[in-house]
Amino acid sequence: MNTEPDDPAALSLTDRWRRFWYLQTVALWLDPIPRRRRKDVLRELKANLGVAAGRDGMSAAISDHGRPRALARQYLDAEPTAGPPGTTGPRPYPWPWWRGSSPARSTCSGA
C-alpha cells in the first residue's frame, strides 16, 4: 500500500475535506485565468498541500499557504494580461456591475 502524502488513503477524511474546500475556494478566485493554466495551478497546489500535510498536518499546511483569495490574487498578478501585443502590467480586475462605476472611474468629487 502506498502511503505517500498525495495518496488519498494516507489522509484522513477530515484532511481530505479541508484540502478539497481549500482547492475549490482557490479555484473560485482563479476563474479569470484560462482553464488549462488554472488546472495546472490547482494540481501544483494540491501536490504542495499533500507534501506539507505529510510533514506538518493539513491544518498547518493550509494556514502556511494563507487565505485562498490572497493566494489566488498572487497567481492572478503573476499572469500576463490579455491585451494588445506589447502591453504588460497587472491584470485588471473587473469591478462588480452591481456597485456602479469603479472607484478609478468615479465622477463623484467626494465633497
Whether residue 22 is contained in a domain is answered as yes
Whether residue 108 is contained in a domain is answered as no
Whether residue 72 is contained in a domain is answered as yes
- Domain limits at 46? 8-82
Q: How many domains does the chain have?
A: 1
**Does 67 or 86 have the greater pLDDT score?**
67
Whether residue 92 is contained in a domain is answered as no
> pTM of the full predicted structure?
0.65
What are the distances in angstroms from CA 70 to CA 5, 25, 30, 32? Answer: 25, 11, 11, 15
Whether residue 49 is contained in a domain is answered as yes
CA atoms within 13 A on the CB side of 42: 20
**Average pLDDT across the chain, whole number:** 78
On the question of pLDDT at 82 being above 70, the answer is no
| 39-70 pLDDT tens trace | 999 999 999 999 999 898 999 999 999 999 99
- pLDDT for position 11: 84
Whether residue 56 is contained in a domain is answered as yes
